[in-house]
Amino acid sequence: MTKRTVKVGLCGLGTVGQGVLALLVEGNAAISARSAAHLVVTHIGTRTPRPEVDIGDAQDSRDVFAVARDPEVDVLIELIGGTTVAKELVIEALQQKKHVITANKALLADHGGELFALAEQQGVSLKYEAAVAGGIPIIETVRASLAANEVTSVAGIINGTGNFILTAMASEGRAFDDVLQEAQRLGYAEADPTFDVDGTDAAQKLVLLASLAFGAAIPGDAPFKQGVDSVAPEDLEFAKELGYRIKHLGIAQRDEETIQLRVHPTLIPEGKAIAQVDGVLNAVMINGTGVGELLLVGPGAGSRPTASAVCGDLVSIAGSLARDESPATPSMGVPIADLDSASITHIDDVSTGWYLRLDAEDKPGVMASITKCLSEKGIGIESLIQKPEASASADVPVIIVTDRATTRCLNDAVSTIEAMSSVVGRVTCLRVENFD
């Protein structure tokens, strides 16, 4: 039987683009068998020449839009990044009725609604498995495999840079800046690591994942963000002493009428599987009404894991084309017009446990004043550690883990505590989630 040839246009030939080319060559036989199609990269668009890369017989263009307008191209893969030219490129490809695959989480977090609607209008697919959690097949898992479930919550380590930093700080006792520099040397962090450090990268991925999981239209700026740089080495040490690990998580939770969306360092009981995911690995924990708790773990970045996700989307589209079926499934699981309007819970109203670290004078009555302040705000204490010092007059670190309290109540209590003459400096506040 003659297999259909599916012609692919590739825009962007950086590390991921090169990884896609390599996987298509290496896995040619398996890809052909699984898709019942013959996949050929026929046109490559790169703004920067890459003479060192073997592109075979593919046409090489400096204009990425030439790929989108090429009538021979069936599927366009967008790997140029950014949200300006990339948006124009995807729009052009969709208008030309090409199926599109992208790894661009920033583009979809900001403009996904518009682009997904256009794909539906044109009767083509816009797939984005590689945009969230790299090599973990989380998008297809939520969209298709868990279709019979009502997803109630999603929590994940979805930025490998942050996880690498916290892992190294915890295991080696190193300072944040030192580990960040190492992450940059190893290529885990960008030259400008701001989006990795402040939670922006994780927030963009969380918007996509939550929109899909909850069938809701969520604005790109909806998540609350607290960066990984708010964690000090001593916090990791005290957390371990208390039986916790600290991970930088993206958390989405559907309440009765609202959706929580937050990205922040989180203390997790060390017995939870997600607490043991270290290094540059990603992990996504999903709770569904049918499956219960599900944890997926894998590489969240890198040339080959990301390329693997891109190729997975490509095989899916090619298989449908080979069977003369339409591959144009809704990108969000349901048509864009059917997405719910999302009401986002304000962070002040979100309730969690809390880890507090402060320095206080080591004298009678100080601890009583601190605990009284928390009690007056209705905040119970689960654990308390007061570290002794050699000098009776020295300030001592005090570590408190509280019961659940809203951010508003906790902030009110902390403001009062910081105003005490016996308390030195600011109080470090990190959230605690037991995921019971």
Tens digits of residue pLDDT in 231-277: 999 999 999 999 999 999 999 999 888 999 999 999 999 999 999 99
The residue assigned the tokens 């690498």 is 164
Q: How far apart are CA 260 and CA 253, in angstroms?
A: 5
- 205: closest CA among 190, 194, 195? 195
| pLDDT for 16 | 92
Amino acid at 327: P
- The answer to whether the pTM exceeds 0.85 is yes
| pLDDT for 1 | 55
| pLDDT for 392 | 55
Q: How far apart are CA 168 and CA 180, in angstroms?
A: 10
- 128: closest CA among 142, 149, 145, 146? 142
- For 308, the 3-state DSSP assignment is helix
Q: How far apart are CA 222 and CA 122, in angstroms?
A: 29
Burial 386-395 (b: 16+ CB within 10 A, else e): eeeeeeeeeb
On whether the CB atoms of residues 318 and 75 are closer than 8 A, the answer is yes
Amino acid at 365: G
Residues near 144 by beta carbon (within 8 Å), at least 6 away in sequence: none
Q: How far apart are the first and last CA of the chain?
A: 54
Q: How far apart are CA 350 and CA 310, in angstroms?
A: 36
In the chain the domains, ranked by start, together with CATH numbers, are: 4-134+303-338 (3.40.50.720), 138-299 (3.30.360.10), 348-432 (3.30.70.260)
| pLDDT for 391 | 53
> What residues in the chain have per-residue pLDDT under 70?
1, 389-393
Question: Catalytic positions, please?
Answer: 205
